[in-house]
């Protein structure tokens, strides 16, 4: 079978297939499927919707992510002989053996999926995915689809918020693999934080699988492993043009160290020789990628002085170092001091490029501290974020749900004592209404059989948070939010790369009104039901249903 345009390379395809096999689900999905099968209802056409009830992080928006993986999951959904034999061992002994043959022959060739495109900004209560097919099959898909969408959308949204907090200028580095919830959590985080707006990752495996730019230089352990200049081997470095003999970089750096110490009035006794040795050793190994961490001992008394000496030696040989990393203390204050020294060196030693060296900051950065950076004077060019990004410290779960809305063409509704947990019945279409300035202002959920809203034409609707109060809206533009993406066992939409989906996220975010993008106390976005759909919901709540039967689930 041909792979659609834009689909992953074979290694990535195998990775996606392996991470979400059909057995990655809850046992009760199989017990329900068996009960459907025993009752002869397993082939009944059913429709489920996937949505979430609240935007995460007390924010005004969410980024929908994970559709790519869901499509690969559906395309490869098939039980192996080993899968079925394991199920035989865990289901009750009274389970009819013919059910296991039914599972062995199962696939998603009769499943259809309509979904919001990957990377779209979405809002609470909007049905993001509609899954249609035989009741037993689409029931078995529930846990897998939720697993693939929940964390991907959560961490992608978290990354988008970090990007908004950082502003467009700064580069953002994801470095959370060592703090992530296991290897798969780390890979998923690296992929979807990149899609959400980060520029780079430290995760080499993610770079290999998903084409994400990777970066990294050194940790404090490299610095502290050196104690003296005698440990630097080799001593020499070939000038970049290669036209002359190798130069003793230690001697050259020591001569610069004397001049820098005099310029900065540094105390020679506080300059750590082991740190200088580590810098020199790394510079000899990577003269075009020299970006050391300078706070292993003291930034002002040792690290910055040693860096400037080695960096100036590299400039003498035709190389341009990248910059420095700060990993502790007052990052803003230190960055200002570092930039001042860079400018001083640039002017005093006539090295213009010294002033533009990068200042990278890391140190348990969260969204709040990143926001505060913009309120303080600082010279930070790039920020590395780990724990608070990949673990989504402020909110550990998005809370997507997967609910039945129709069986055999008849609407179904869950009605709870908690109105927030009630569902909206029936097959639906979702439209995004945009104002004259191009900002979306309302998502309208209609019955699929209804005529769509039209640009320039007024439409009555009922906001989900409006306590049955009707409003009238007139959109300047209307977009159908969901698309048909999977039919007859085939993916019918091009699979986007991580970079393409990343661009989609930024484009979608740019359309939002600033009030909806505020990180704190954002304006609430309106999601509304059409008049016909609202009337259907009211009929259910009064005790009736579209097919003449009362359907309550408490």
Nearest of 249, 221, 33, 248 to residue 141 by alpha carbon: 33
How far apart are alpha carbons 468 and 238 in whole angstroms? 77
Q: How far apart are CA 459 and CA 530, in angstroms?
A: 8
Cβ-based burial of 13 (10 A; exposed 0-12, middle 13-18, buried ≥19): middle
Q: How many CB atoms lie within 10 A of CB 218?
A: 18
User: What pLDDT was estimated at residue 31?
Assistant: 97
Per-residue H/E/C for 283-331: HHHCCCCCCCECCCCCHHHHHHHHHHHHHHHHHHCCCCCCEEEECCCCH
CA 268 – CA 14 distance, rounded (Å): 57
The DSSP letter of residue 293 is B
Torsions phi, psi for 35 (to 5 deg)? -65, -40
- Three-state secondary-structure class, residue 38: helix
How far is 408 from 546, CA to CA, in rounded Å? 12
49 contacts 127 by C-beta, under 8 angstroms: yes
Q: Which residue has the tokens 């809002």?
A: 123
CA distance 440 to 442: 6
The pLDDT score that the predictor gives to residue 166 is 94
Which residues, 6+ apart, have CB-to-CB distance to 529 below 8 Å?
Answer: 424, 444, 445, 446, 461, 462, 464, 537
Token pair for 415: 């009605």
Give Cα 200 to chain centroid, integer Å. Answer: 12
- Nearest CA among 121, 123, 125 for reference residue 53: 125
Q: Tens of pLDDT along 23-40?
A: 999 999 999 999 999 999
> What is the Cα–Cα distance from 307 to 261, expressed in whole angstroms?
12
Q: Where do we find the tokens 């059909």?
A: 22
The C-alpha atoms of residue 522 and residue 515 are separated, in whole angstroms, by 6
Residues counted in the chain: 554
Chain position carrying tokens 């016909």: 532
DSSP-derived pairing of the beta strands 382-385 and 171-174? parallel
Distance, in Å, from the CA atom of 363 to the CA atom of 198, rounded to the nearest integer, reads 17
Nearest to 50 by CA among 25, 67, 26, 36: 67
Q: How far apart are CA 357 and CA 337, in angstroms?
A: 13
The 3-state DSSP class for residue 520 equals coil
Residues in CB range of 56: below 8 A, 6 or more apart? 62, 154, 157, 158, 392, 394, 395, 398
**Domains in the chain, please, with CATH?**
10-160+395-425+483-511 (3.20.140.10), 163-390 (3.20.20.70)
Q: What pLDDT sits at residue 545? A: 54
Task: Report strand pairing: 112-115 vs 129-134.
Answer: antiparallel
C-alpha R_g of the chain: 29
Instruction: Tokens for 347, please give them.
Output: 């002017």
Phi, then psi, of 432 in degrees rounded to 5: -105, 125
> Which is nearest to 45 in space by CA: 401, 408, 331?
408
Q: What is the pTM of this model?
A: 0.94
CA 429/CA 320 separation, integer angstroms = 56
Give the span between the Cα atoms of 355 and 416, in whole angstroms. Answer: 63
pLDDT at 390: 97
| Chain centre to alpha carbon of residue 445 | 26
The mean pLDDT values, 10 residues at a time, for the chain of 554 residues are 48 80 96 98 98 97 97 96 97 97 97 98 98 98 98 98 94 96 95 98 96 94 97 96 90 97 94 98 97 97 98 97 96 97 97 97 93 91 97 95 97 84 94 97 97 97 86 97 96 95 97 96 97 94 60 38
Please state, in angstroms and rounded to a whole number, the distance separating the CA atoms of residues 538 and 554. 17
Q: Is 459 left (phi over 0), alpha (psi -120 to 50) or beta?
A: beta
* CA nearest to 16, candidates 498, 502, 505, 499: 498
Query: Which residues, at least 6 apart from 361, have a Cβ–Cβ distance to it below 8 Å?
Result: 325, 326, 327, 331, 335, 380, 382, 383, 384
To the nearest 10 degrees (0 to 180), the angle between helices 498-511 and 142-166 is 60
User: Residue 237 CB: number of other CB atoms within 10 A?
Assistant: 21
Tokens representing residue 277 in the block? 């040795």
What's the rounded Cα separation, in Å, for the pair 534 and 527? 12
Non-local CB neighbours of 174 within 8 Å, separated by 6+ positions = 159, 189, 190, 193, 194, 198, 200, 201, 202, 203, 384, 385, 386, 389, 390
How far is the C-alpha of 427 from the C-alpha of 130, rounded, in Å?
A: 8
User: Which of these, 337, 307, 308, lies nearest to 218 by C-alpha position?
Assistant: 307
């Amino acid at each position: 079978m041909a792979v659609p345009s834009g689909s992953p390379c074979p290694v990535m395809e195998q990775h996606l297939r392996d991470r979400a096999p059909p057995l990655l689900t809850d046992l009760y999905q199989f017990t329900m499927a068996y009960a459907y099968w025993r009752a002869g209802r397993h082939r009944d056409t059913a429709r489920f919707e996937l949505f979430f009830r609240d935007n995460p992080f007390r924010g005004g928006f969410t980024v929908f992510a994970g559709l790519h993986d869901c499509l690969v999951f559906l395309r490869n959904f098939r039980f192996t002989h080993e899968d079925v034999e394991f199920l035989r061992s865990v289901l009750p002994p009274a389970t009819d053996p013919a059910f296991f043959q039914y599972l062995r022959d199962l696939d998603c060739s009769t499943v259809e999926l309509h979904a919001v495109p990957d990377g779209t900004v979405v809002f609470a209560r909007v049905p993001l995915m509609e899954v249609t097919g035989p009741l037993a099959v689409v029931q078995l898909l529930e846990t897998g689809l939720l697993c693939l969408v929940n964390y991907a959308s959560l961490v992608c949204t978290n990354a988008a918020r970090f990007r908004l907090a950082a502003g467009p200028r700064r580069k953002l580095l994801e470095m959370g693999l060592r703090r992530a919830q296991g290897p798969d959590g780390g890979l998923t985080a690296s992929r979807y934080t990149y899609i959400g707006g980060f520029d780079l990752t430290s995760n080499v495996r993610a770079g290999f699988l998903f084409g994400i730019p990777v970066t990294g230089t050194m940790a404090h352990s490299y610095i502290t492993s050196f104690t003296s200049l005698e440990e630097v081997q080799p001593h020499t470095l070939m000038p970049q043009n290669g036209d002359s003999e190798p130069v003793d970089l230690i001697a050259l750096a020591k001569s610069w160290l004397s001049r820098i110490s005099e310029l900065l009035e540094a105390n020679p006794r506080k300059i750590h020789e082991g740190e200088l040795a580590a810098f020199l050793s790394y510079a000899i190994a990577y003269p075009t990628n020299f970006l050391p961490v300078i706070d292993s001992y003291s930034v002002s008394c040792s690290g910055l002085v040693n860096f400037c000496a080695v960096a100036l030696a590299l400039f003498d040989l035709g190389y341009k170092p990248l910059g420095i990393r700060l990993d502790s203390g007052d990052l803003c204050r230190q960055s200002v001091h570092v930039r001042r020294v860079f400018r001083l060196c640039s002017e005093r030693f006539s090295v213009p490029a010294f002033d533009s060296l990068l200042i990278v900051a890391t140190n348990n950065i969260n969204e709040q501290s990143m926001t505060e950076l913009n309120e303080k004077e600082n010279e930070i060019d790039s920020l590395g974020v780990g724990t608070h990004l990949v673990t989504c410290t402020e909110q550990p779960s998005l809370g997507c749900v997967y609910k039945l809305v129709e069986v055999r063409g008849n609407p179904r509704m869950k009605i709870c004592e908690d109105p927030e947990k009630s569902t909206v019945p029936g097959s639906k279409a979702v439209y995004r209404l945009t104002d004259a300035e191009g900002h979306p202002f309302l998502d309208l959920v209609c019955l699929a059989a209804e005529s769509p809203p039209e640009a320039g034409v007024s439409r009555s609707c009922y906001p989900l948070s409006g306590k049955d109060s009707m409003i009238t809206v007139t959109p300047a533009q209307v977009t159908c939010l969901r698309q048909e993406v999977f039919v007859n066992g085939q993916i019918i939409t091009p699979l986007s790369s991580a970079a393409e989906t990343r661009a989609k996220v930024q484009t979608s975010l740019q359309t939002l009104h600033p009030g909806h993008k505020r990180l704190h106390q954002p304006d609430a976005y309106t999601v509304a039901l059409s008049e016909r759909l609202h009337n259907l919901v009211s009929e259910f709540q009064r005790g009736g249903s579209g097919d003449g039967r009362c359907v309550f689930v408490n």
